[in-house]
Structures are given as structure tokens and as C-alpha cells.
Amino acid sequence: MIIIFDLDGTLINTIDDLGQACNYALAACGYPTHKIEDYPRLVGNGINRLIERALPEQHRNEATVLRLREYFVPYYDEHNCELTCPYDGITEILHTLKEAGHTLAVASNKYQAATEKIVAHFFPGIFDVVLGERENVARKPDPQIVWDIVEAIRLLGDKAIDKEDILYIGDSLVDAETAKAANLPFVACTWGFCTEEQLASGNPNYIVQHPIEILSIVE
């Protein structure tokens, strides 16, 4: 089976490092900062949307977002593994799935360089394909990232892939919409950045409270 995981809020808790980087960019450009606990409601659609949502409403324009991004990215690149950590049980479950012969992939709205760095740091040798936000490729919930992952895996194995053998796992309504757009079964994780009630509104195929529950779904 091919199992596609979202990154932030699903495999790792990135809120502290994301919040610190965004606050750094905001302060550097003279804007008010936010409490770290406010950031879960701001994330999920990539760095530009995070910055946009963090800005005062009257300053939410492309030029300002791009100016703050120039501060955000270098800071985040340097500090993105300092306060970030895998959720309890995730590392063990990934190793179990890998050893069972499943093909594992990451589909993230975090920009590609940071996605690759963080996955390599916390989960070396685990994932077959790792894709994040890339230039001229639509972000989730557009399903293009799913098709790109499937194609990359097909090339690795040089064989056709049955869509019925693909599972998508994430922690947000963005992930729910991505899975729906790709016509894939969706597993909603309650330990991430959305409440269980919010996740239920996305009509997931499964809702799990702990990573170990994923094993019963894929077996």
C-alpha cells in the first residue's frame, strides 16, 4: 500500500518553530506579533498564507507577504528543527509500516527545501517520496501533489499503481479536501491542529486518536 502523510500536525508538531519564525518576520517589518498558541489556526495552506493571516487585515497584500517571507524563510531554515518534534508514537509506527513493506510518502504545503530538511532530520531513510510546496505547482487542497507522488513512486517501481492501494493521512480540512479531490480514503488525525469536531465535518473515512490505530486500518 502507498500511504501518503501530511507533515505539519500529522507527523510532527511544528507550531513553535513556525510561530517563532513568523513572529520574527512580523517584528522585523514593524508588525505586531502573536502568541504561539494562536498559530494553529493560521497554518495549513503554506508559508505565504500563514504570513498573510498573521498580518493585520489592512496589510494583507502580496507585496507585504513577500517582504515578510524574505525574513521568514532564512530564519525558519536555520531554526526549523529546534522546537519541532514528532508526535508520540509516530516514529515507531512509521518504522512498523516501512518494515511491513508499505511505500511511504509526504505531501506538505511547507516549501520543498524545509520539507526535505525536516523529514531527513526526523525520519531518515523512511520515506520513498517527499514533496512540499514547489514553484508553479498548486498547493493542497489541489490534488496535483498526490498525482506527483504517485508518478514518482511509479517510476521508482516501474509498475502501474492501483488507486485503491493508496491511503491519505492528515490532520486538517485542507487534507480532507485534498483526499476528496484525489478520490482517496482519508484518515483524520486528532492530535494535530484541528479539533475532532472540525475533522468530522470533513467526512473522513476514519478518525484516529493515536498513531497506533493506523496499523489496524492498513492491515
Cβ atoms of 176 and 11 closer than 8 Å: no
Distance between CA atoms of 209 and 80, rounded to whole angstroms? 26
Tell me how long the chain is: 219
Look up 6 and say whether it is catalytic.
yes
Q: Which of 6, 17, 171, 175 is catalytic?
A: 6
Distance between CA atoms of 198 and 193, rounded to whole angstroms? 10
Q: What are 133's strand-pairing partners?
A: 111
Residues classed as catalytic: 6
